[in-house]
Amino acid sequence: MLALTNNMKKYLWTTALCLLQFTFLAHAQVPPFMCHLSISSPSGVSSLCNAVHIGQGRLLSAAHCFPEGKNTITHGIVLASCGGEEFMDFSNLRKAPDSPKGTLGEDISLLEFSPELKGDWIVPTSYPAMYFAGGQLRSGVDCEILALRGAYPSKQLKRIKVDQTMELRALNNSSDEPTQIQMKLKSGGALNAGTNVQEGDSGGALICRYSKNARHELVGIIMNYGTDRVTKKIMQNAFSPVFGPGAKKILLPKR
């Protein structure tokens, strides 16, 4: 009976360690630079979006998450959760200029806040040529899409690997400036639930690295998805490049 009790104790102890390790890994898989935004605008409209911590008191997100502009942070409520940290003290909101209708446009915004985050951040790339050549993704470049889904605090990380079946391209506007990144299946088919972005993913991250030994950099911010007019199936994911003209404008230091 004593041996059985010891075995039971050993089993329970091992199980507890496994559960503890699983819980740690479940939390560890969410990069600390990924943030979740709960937004209540002055008009009373509520929404959930993602954001990416890029250091120096700044978060990048999608511009359409803030339809009322700066009024959202001055007269509304924005709760940001990054890792184990939460804050609401935003000092400024900067949005990329709206693009003319019918053109390839950007959809990116910059939230500035006063508290200093303890968590890690990710660097927006300054060298898009490391990842794209002639608009095509370079061979050997590794990319993935990250978004937090669900209401706080039960949000979970959605990770979409850009594999060999997908085509990731940087597209230029009429002024030959990179204003959008699109991801489609090479077969031309519809994206499935495991590969398409969805409502609430806006503001999430497209991250890439040029080799397995390199550190990931932020390349794009999730803006929307495109659907087929007839079938309504999702055919492409779209991102605002962090190296586009609108992104460069909002990332420039204020004078």
Per-domain residue ranges for the chain?
Answer: 34-113, 128-244
Nearest to 188 by CA among 164, 166, 160: 166
Task: Indicate the pLDDT class of residue 34, thresholds 50, 70 and 90.
Answer: very high
Question: Hey, which residues does 95 pair with through a beta bridge?
Answer: 109
**pLDDT score of 170:** 94
**pLDDT score of 228:** 78
Nearest to 236 by CA among 167, 179, 178: 167
CA angle 46, 52, 53 (to 5 degrees): 120
Tell me: pLDDT of 66 over 60: yes
Percent of the chain exceeding pLDDT 90 equals 51
CATH class (in words) of the domain with range 34-113:
mainly beta
**pLDDT score of 102:** 62
Tell me: pLDDT of 7 over 60: no
The first and second tokens of residue 118, run together, are: 């303890």
* Rounded-to-integer distance, Cα 192 and Cα 225, Å: 12
Mean pLDDT along residues 189-212: 91
* Rounded-to-integer distance, Cα 38 and Cα 99, Å: 26
Q: What is the dihedral of CA 52, 55, 56, 58, to 10 degrees?
A: 0
Q: Checking phi first, is residue 149 left (phi over 0); if not, alpha (psi -120 to 50) or beta? A: beta
Tell me: pLDDT of 4 over 60: no
CATH of domain 128-244: 2.40.10
Q: Which of 29-38, 66-75, 88-97, 124-133 has the highest mean pLDDT?
A: 124-133
Tell me: pLDDT of 29 over 80: no
- In what order do the strands lie in the sheet containing 46-53? 85-87, 77-82, 34-40, 46-53, 58-61, 109-113, 90-95
| Backbone φ, ψ for residue 38 (5° rounding) | -105, 115
| Backbone φ, ψ for residue 53 (5° rounding) | -80, 120
32 Cβ contact list (under 8 Å, min separation 6): 53, 82, 83, 119, 120, 121
Tell me: pLDDT of 2 over 70: no
Tell me: pLDDT of 47 over 50: yes
**pLDDT score of 254:** 60
Domain 34-113 identical in fold to domain 128-244: yes
* Rounded-to-integer distance, Cα 2 and Cα 103, Å: 76
Mean pLDDT along residues 132-155: 89
pTM of the model: 0.85
Q: Give me the chain's average pLDDT, please.
A: 84
Nearest to 121 by CA among 49, 210, 37, 217: 217
